[in-house]
Amino acid sequence: MPAKPPGCPVGPGGRVPSARIADDDLAAEAADFITLYHREELPHQDPAPRIAAVREEIAATGTYRHTTAELTHGARVAWRNSNRCIGRLYWRSLKVRDHRHLDDAESIAREAAIHLRQASNGGRIRPLITVFAPDTPHRPGPRIWNEQLIRYAGYRTPSGSVLGDPRNLGLTELALDLGWAGGPGTPFDVLPLIIADGDGKPRLFELPPESVLEVAIEPPDGPDYRDLALRWHAVPAIANMCLEIGGVSYAAAPFNGWYMGTEIGARNLADVDRYDLLPRIAERLGLNTADDRSLWRDRALVELNRAVLHSFDRAGVTVADHHTESRRFLAHIDRERAHGREVTADWAWIVPPISGAATPVFHRTYDATEHRPAYVHHPDAEARARGEWAG
């Protein structure tokens, strides 16, 4: 709002990273993180020897390497610190796939498909992150240009309208420029991945169909709109954010939780600059769309969200509803306070985009201070996702 920013899937989200930091600053950030890690995971072990070793490594190489245990805790705490995410109660359940040895586009595309299959888990969506090679002083790490691993194409038609998702119009045009033949021409054609090695040159990779779990969206009752052939993908795997842990930046680190239904039904399918389906749903419901006071948008919005929850449940695919998730967020606050930690949050993202005042998270204020480790936006990530590449 003005338009509220796109809703957060039940998974991490974050801030904008700074430029590459000097050795002294990197050492300070590393020491802060190592101290945090030991305090929370190794409380009876002195962090000083590890900090000293990290400082020596930074002095020699300009960077340092996290242990797998440090990486795992850092990724989980980054989720815990995500001010825009309502689903942080589950932060300790995040499974970390350590693939820091991979920095080539082909391997990243292959592992991204495996990530999606593992995260789909037969419909029981599991929180998952796959971490690829980090940025170093000598070479930037790889980048995934797609906003999420699964996104639907947006095609500009001769009439000037868009078939599919207008949010992805620029990325679709870039994919076509890079040699993609296009999909079958439906409103829900899955885009290929666009991945760049450290040299920054983007390359295309089609996702295998078996890696893309989708749910057909149909109403639980009332007027039928199966003719619209609505569907949505099950795994919201965010791909163009950077995982920052102790001053080290993992620019390619796709991660997912599971969807909250409103992200699909009240945003992706309903927003006027996305699929803009409310007028068509209202028409099938027989609502008076000529008079705003009939609240036809509100009624159509509720029915579309009911359809999303019904359809995911019928398909046996994990999805959260905004009332339950709001209560769980307050449980997360209580649990964190019991551990001596205060939860920070961005009110505009935590309050659901439908029936906000009917949820308990609405009637509170939150400290929006940002902490590290964190998931952050690349400075150029949004431009790349829009297809604005100057290479």
What is the set of active-site residues? 85, 88, 258, 263
Measured CA to CA, the distance from residue 82 to residue 77 in angstroms comes to 9
Helix extents (H) in 126-277: 169-177, 261-262
Say which residues have a Cβ less than 8 Å from residue 12's Cβ, sequence separation at least 6. Answer: 78, 79, 82, 85, 238, 241, 255, 257, 375
Give the end-to-end CA distance of the chain in Å, rounded to a whole number: 33
Question: By the 8 A CB rule, do 276 and 164 touch?
Answer: no
What sign results for the dihedral spanned by CA atoms 384, 386, 390, 391? positive
Q: In 10 A of CB 141, how many CB atoms?
A: 24
* Cα Rg, the chain, nearest whole Å: 22
Query: Of the candidates 39, 111, 80, which has an alpha carbon nearest to the alpha carbon of residue 257?
Result: 80
For residue 43, how far is the Cα from the chain centroid? 32
Cβ-based burial of 199 (10 A; exposed 0-12, middle 13-18, buried ≥19): exposed
